Amino acid sequence: MTASTPTPTSEDAELRAARRDRVFDAMATVGLDVLVLGRRDSVAYASGARSLWTAGSRPYGPACVLAAATRSIHLLSSWDEGVPPEVPFAHLYGVTWNGAILAGALAAIPGLAAARRIGVDALSPGFERMARRLAPAAELVPADDLMRAMRALKLPAEVARIRAAVAVAGAAMEAGAAVAGGGPAAARAAALQAAARRGVTVPTSGVSAWPSYPDNGARFHLDVGLLVDGYEGGLGRTLPGGDGDAAVVAAQRRLVDACRPGATAVDLRRAVPAGATRWRVRGSGMGLEAPVMTDTRGHADVIEEGMVLSVELELGGRRRRDLAVVGPGASEAL
């Protein structure tokens, strides 16, 4: 057996510290004594912990508890593997099927019982009951918007991670394109294996393929969405001949260019050519993030500097999806 955990670098520690500070600072701005997180991506953002990936939603539960008074992080984990050093072993509470055991572990977290405001990223009836018993004076406050707004604006180190993740997605796409003549299944399999050779086997949206109807199935769309070192790499092309269609390449360039600070969904719509059959611009980071902007969604949202966006466009049966980082004046496709 060889070492199974990558050696943590100082860069990891700095990024985790920066994210953690953001979360505690944001808690302070809205007066949260405690923040309870249940979603994998939120937990990873706040704590830096890595854990086994499972698909889809999980039943809601308190997977991570942040206490403002002590600026301490408490984590649902039965072991310290994947847990960063700033979360000491004493702050772990193990997986349990027993609500009483879980309640006992949470009750021991300093500051929870006396909390006046507890933020939650979602809420189940079971956890609401438990929270009202553990912290009778506390008001339960939705804090998903707090996390979402914070996560939408990336730190420079996060952009570097996303850049590296896109490189893995690119290698997967290249492998898929190389066997595109063999059809969508062959391309998917090759893309999956290319990512896996780089140690990446966790999907965000996954590696999917579907026919391009105007081409009567002669071409297909291949889309790659993978989680690399905690961040999403994404890319979409139509195969065979991913870069060969000048019209869609130019249209995508215009849409990426329109993703400037201050732009709204209306501005993006104007940048999309009339013949486009689909477009979507949405946040990307530790998975799908805010904002989500389409013809029908995100009309109150405004693009800001520091966002990383998944920009997607389909024109004449050719589809492109690229991640782009929004700079001070324009955005750059990664």
Q: Taking a C-beta distance cutoff of 8 angstroms, is the pair 206, 194 a contact?
A: no
H-helix or E-strand spanning residue 290: strand 288-293
Least distance in angstroms from the C-beta of 210 to another protein: 12
C-beta closer to another protein: residue 6 or 214:
6
Cis bond upstream, residue 6 (ω within 30):
no
Nearest CA-CA partner of 67 in 29, 37, 96, 110? 110
Closest CA to 75 of 88, 56, 91, 61: 91
CB of 23 to another protein, least distance (A): 15
Residue type, 62: P
| Distance of closest approach, residue 77 Cβ to another protein, in angstroms | 8
Q: Are 152 and 304 in contact (CB under 8 A)?
A: yes
Task: Provide the minimum distance between the beta carbon of 179 and another protein in the complex, in angstroms, as a whole number.
Answer: 11
Our CB check for another protein shows the closer of 72 and 248 to be 72
Nearer of residues 102 and 324 to another protein, judged by Cβ: 102
Residue with smaller CB distance to another protein, 24 or 127: 127
Of 249 and 288, nearer to another protein (C-beta) is: 288
Q: Is the dihedral of CA 5, 50, 209, 265 positive or negative?
A: negative
Q: In the complex, what is the shortest distance from the CB of residue 143 to another protein, in angstroms, rounded to a whole number?
A: 7
Tokens 């912990």 identify what position? 49
